[in-house]
Amino acid sequence: MVTQLLHRKIGSSPLNAITPDIDPVWAFYERRFDNGTSVKVGRNPLPRGLFNEIRYIGTLLPTFRVGNAVYGETLEYLDGAVVRKPFELGSDWKLDVSAFAGGYSIKAQLPGATGISTIDSRNENSFGTQVFLNTPIEGVRVGAFYNNYLGTPSATLPEAQRPNRTTTMMYSAEAVFSKVFARSELTTFKQTKAPNFVDFTSYYVQGGITPTDKITFVTEYSSGTNVVRFAGTPIPDLNLPLNNDLTIGVAYKPNPQVAFKLEGHQVEGYSFDRPVPSIIPPTAPPLVARLAPKSKTYFALASVAFTF
């Protein structure tokens, strides 16, 4: 039996308004069998990508927050069941397969034509899978995540107003060796039926060196794009970059239970805690919306993580 309670405040982010003071992000029962199969039932970590199941274990992360454009501040858990099974393929090739079903909440903030939108959506009837292929080269693996879900409300709406099911995909690759590592992940969300139109793509690329067991140098670049649709108008869709985040950092771990981190960020784009100019609507033909000049900010972040 595993339970994890989470308390956090996210600076001046609009997400604070939809973030509970105490959130039970994990509350599940796990059973492991002799053949390597495991079953989790309850509110358990959603098997999504390289970091979703360890995203709050700061001593295992190379930076304070990994791949923000991909992981964001949401999709931590699944209310349902997860079955995981490893498979030996021979010649040191291995598969790690997870299947899951249930429901979860999505929380996000997205800039758009009229400012920042805060999303707090409950999704049900979700099902999906994640597969990781471990290569004969130790530390090298690739993976894919697939999920299909139904937004709510649905059953209480007239059939013509019910949303289509949404598909989200994620692709992962990493190579981790004794002194160097590299990772990259890309995710997409697609829903084309109005008024629940979603077309979101994001990715990050990360690399680093570990000259000693106690020191890690890391750099990461993450980026996301949201397609803005001007419903009910002849204005064509517009690709709105959310932000481009370049991170350079160093982590010092005197032992496996403690990690001190210092990192610098350059963020450029349109997704910030406070609204910035993003889209310039057309005022005359041709009716084509334009992007406002990108905003930019710099910040440093120091953190310490403990496990016990």
pLDDT score of 32: 96
- pLDDT, mean over the chain: 92
DSSP 30: E
- pLDDT value for 288: 92
pLDDT of residue 174: 98
Q: How far apart are the first and last CA of the chain?
A: 18
Decide: 251 and 261 in contact? Cβ < 8 Å. yes
- Return the pLDDT at 228: 87
Residue 192 has pLDDT above 80, yes or no: no
Q: Report whether CATH 3.90.550 matches the domain 2-306.
A: no
The whole model's pTM is what? Answer: 0.93
Write down the pLDDT at residue 252. 98
Distance CA 220, CA 67 (A): 8
Which has the closest alpha carbon to 112: 15, 207, 228?
Answer: 228
pLDDT: which is higher, 7 or 203: 203
Q: What are the extents of the domains in the chain? A: 2-306
φ/ψ of residue 161, rounded to 5:
-100, -5
pLDDT at 15: 87
pLDDT level of residue 194 (50, 70, 90 thresholds)? low
Report the percent of the chain where pLDDT is more than 90.
Answer: 66
Tell me the average pLDDT across 226-235.
Answer: 86
**Residues 75 and 48: beta-carbon distance below 8 Å:** yes
